[in-house]
Amino acid sequence: MIDARELRIGNFINYVHENGNGNLFEWLVCSSDISAIEIDNKIFKPIEIDENWLENFGFHYAPDTLIYGKSGWFKKIEYQDDPTYFFFNNHLQGSIFLSSEKSSALHFIDSQMIYVHQLQNLYFSLTGKELTIK
């Protein structure tokens, strides 16, 4: 199940096929979907973040990083007019950090990020831009 209040138009979610066979289809949320989810959210499911999604969103894997000694996925973004690296740890369940090029600042953002729509929403709130598939 998914809460319609977590979604924005353009988020990716799974849609369970109506014939009852349980097949999942990737779905791009539109405004009518949000209304439908408010009424019956059993046929819509969140998509868990995996390496394929991160690659498709333009993240790059780095096996050795100095951020807490963990490997992870990086994407360079513009954040508050400062070239910044958006870091997602390799456990694919959370720990989001921002690391600035202009300063040595490292900002912890979130530790419970597990779904694609959550990553899309955070990216939009930080950059004002959609996280698009490359």
pLDDT at position 27 over 80: no
Instruction: Give the mean pLDDT of 106-114.
Output: 70
Candidates 115, 118, 127; CA nearest to 81 is 127
Do residues 10 and 28 lie in contact, with contact meaning Cβ atoms separated by under 8 Å? yes
Contacts of 5 by beta carbon, 8 Å cutoff, 6+ apart: none
pLDDT at position 17 over 70: no
Instruction: Give per-residue pLDDT as tens, 44-103.
Output: 888 888 889 989 999 888 776 655 556 778 887 777 776 677 777 655 555 677 777 676
pLDDT at position 25 over 90: no
Name 82's bridge partners: 79
Strands (E), the chain: 12-16, 24-28, 44-45, 60-62, 72-79, 82-89, 96-100, 106-110
Q: Where are the domains of the chain?
A: 4-45, 51-127
Instruction: Give the mean pLDDT of 113-120.
Output: 88
Q: What is the pLDDT of residue 111?
A: 65
Q: What is the pLDDT of residue 1?
A: 72
